[in-house]
Amino acid sequence: MADMIEVQNVNTPGKVTRVNAAKYADMQGAMVKALPKAAPGLTQVQIREAVKPHLNEELFPAGKTSGWWAKTVQLDLEAKGRLVREQTKPLRWHWA
């Protein structure tokens, strides 16, 4: 079984889920490269597209499941205070 990591969800405080650690780490690394450090940030659609070139092809062949992983990592990092959600329409995120 693959190594697992616990993640949080800013929308459901106190809930912890276990996910694949390698995929989480790869997506987090891609987000570090893709997301800006300040406002206005990127929308969810922009994040999903911006991370794809930085992903490991073996973990995410042809970007498969990358949208789910981008959202999972975004919610976890936001819950941990590492990402900031701008109250815009559409919503945008950047590093804290």
pTM of the model: 0.94
| Per-residue pLDDT, 54 | 97
The one-character DSSP state at 11 is T
pLDDT averaged over 10-residue windows placed end to end, the chain, 96 residues: 90 96 98 97 98 97 96 98 96 97
pLDDT given at position 82: 97
For residue 94, which amino acid is it?
Answer: H
Residue in the structure block whose two tokens are 């079984």: 1
**Residue 1, pLDDT score:** 56
Going from the N-terminus, what domains does the chain have, and what CATH number goes with each? 4-95 (1.10.10)
How far is 78 from 85, CA to CA, in rounded Å? Answer: 7
Q: At 32, phi and psi to the nearest 5?
A: -60, -40
Cα angle 14, 60, 12 (rounded to 5 degrees) comes to: 15
Q: Are 94 and 84 in contact (CB under 8 A)?
A: yes
